[in-house]
């Protein structure tokens, strides 16, 4: 865990704060740190009502604030960010099919919203901004990934506009969180609960990384503690075959290969060979440093090990793999979020 004083007496705003990440981040910070205030910024008043009435958050009501607003609205963001120390940008349209069918809406939120977060943070004295990225932003094959690639580029370039301001922008990248809505674990669970004995696998070669929500939160806090500006932080986490997940969830089940879906990849890719020129390896994570630095505060931490030229990191070429038994053990800790 990062220095206990990192978030002490700090005000933190989370865009998309009623989502799975926002709730887990807020809970984790309240349990392990002493923030002054956590501001949940989101557009759904019902989800804010539900979150504010959760017993845990009711017990910490003195530190929680709920702000109705959309990242598409820069003026509203500026009002919400006044007096804020740190901003965590988690708001996005994430469903691949929905983004394909509503491309203009995805661009307004994922690209325009990202720029609004940048502009509002620069104008209100925010000290650190961490944006959540996704494996789908790497060599994107769908519109969601394309918008997140642009978002990543915007946050990296935002350091060019910091000037003399004490602010930096960085990124954390991970894939589907174990148990997240729309992911394979709750889908398999729903089939099993209905009594199905055959589970569909889009492709028997398909692999994914395993990351928990708490690990995602810890990576964001690491970025808050260490970022100088423009870095992309990536956790070292194990891989698994989706067919092994099916066996772990329903021992002895039969499986049916259904074919890869539009916009889907065989493997989650986090680092490409092109990134290797500025990527360093640390004990528990990788950091991709920006190819262009925009101010003299963007000093890379070269205490890590420079990766070899051409290095790539994906769930398909990972060194750490989970067995069926290990997956089954991890599943005991997973709740659908």
- Of 214, 235, 245, the C-alpha closest to 288 is 235
Q: For the whole model, what pTM was predicted?
A: 0.95
Active site residue 153: no
Pick the CATH number of 11-175+212-235+272-309 from 3.40.50.720, 3.40.630.30, 3.10.310.50, 3.50.50.60: 3.40.50.720
pLDDT of residue 336: 60
Letter string b/e over residues 49-68, b meaning 16 or more CB atoms within 10 A of that residue's CB: eebeeeeebeebeebbbbbe
Among candidate residues 63, 94, 128, 136, the one labeled active-site is: 136
Neighbour count for residue 284 (Cβ, 10 Å): 12
Q: Kindly report, residue by residue over 245-280, the tens digit of the pLDDT.
A: 999 999 999 999 999 988 899 999 999 999 999 999
* pLDDT (average), residues 100-114: 98
Extract long-range pairs of 75-79: CB within 8 Å, 24+ residues apart: 77/15, 77/41, 77/116, 77/117, 77/120, 78/120, 78/123, 78/124
Quote the longest CA-to-CA distance of the chain. Answer: 62
- Domain ranges in the chain are 11-175+212-235+272-309
Q: Kindly report, residue by residue over 295-304, the tens digit of the pLDDT.
A: 889 998 989 9
Nearest-angstrom CA–CA distance, 150 and 161: 17
- Alpha-carbon dihedral 50, 52, 127, 118, rounded to 10 degrees: 30
Q: Kindly report, residue by residue over 170-215, the tens digit of the pLDDT.
A: 999 999 898 777 788 989 999 999 999 999 999 999 999 999 999 9
Q: Which residues pair with 132 in a beta bridge?
A: 172
């Amino acid at each position: 865990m990062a220095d206990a004083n990192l978030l002490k007496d700090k005000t933190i705003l989370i865009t998309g704060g009623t989502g799975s990440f926002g709730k887990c981040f807020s809970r984790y910070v309240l349990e392990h740190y002493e923030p002054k205030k956590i501001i949940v910024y989101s557009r759904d008043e019902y989800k804010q009502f539900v979150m504010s009435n959760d017993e845990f958050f009711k017990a910490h009501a003195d530190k929680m604030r709920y702000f109705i607003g959309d990242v598409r609205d820069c003026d509203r963001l500026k009002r919400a960010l006044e007096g804020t120390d740190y901003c965590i940008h988690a708001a996005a349209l994430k469903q691949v099919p929905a983004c394909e069918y509503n491309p203009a809406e995805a661009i307004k939120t994922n690209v325009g919203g990202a720029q609004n977060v940048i502009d509002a943070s620069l104008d209100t004295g925010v000290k650190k901004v961490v944006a959540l990225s996704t494996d789908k932003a790497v060599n994107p094959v769908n519109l969601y990934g394309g918008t997140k690639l642009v978002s990543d580029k915007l946050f990296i370039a935002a350091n060019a506009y910091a000037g003399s301001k004490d602010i930096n922008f960085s990124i954390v990248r991970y894939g589907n969180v174990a148990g997240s809505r729309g992911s394979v674990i709750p889908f398999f669970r729903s089939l099993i609960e209905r009594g199905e004995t055959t589970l569909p696998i889009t492709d028997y070669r398909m692999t994914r990384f395993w990351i928990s929500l708490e690990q995602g939160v810890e990576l964001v806090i690491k970025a808050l503690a260490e970022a100088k500006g423009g870095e992309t932080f990536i956790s070292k986490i194990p891989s698994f075959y989706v067919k092994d997940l099916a066996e772990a969830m329903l021992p002895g089940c039969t499986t049916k290969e259904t074919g890869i879906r539009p916009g889907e990849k065989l493997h989650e890719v986090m680092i490409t060979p092109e990134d290797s020129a500025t990527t360093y390896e640390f004990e528990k994570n990788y950091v991709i440093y920006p190819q262009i630095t925009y101010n003299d505060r963007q000093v890379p931490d070269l205490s890590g090990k420079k990766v070899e030229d051409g290095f790539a990191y994906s769930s398909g070429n990972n060194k750490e793999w989970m067995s069926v038994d290990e997956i089954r053990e991890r599943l005991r800790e997973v709740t659908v979020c």
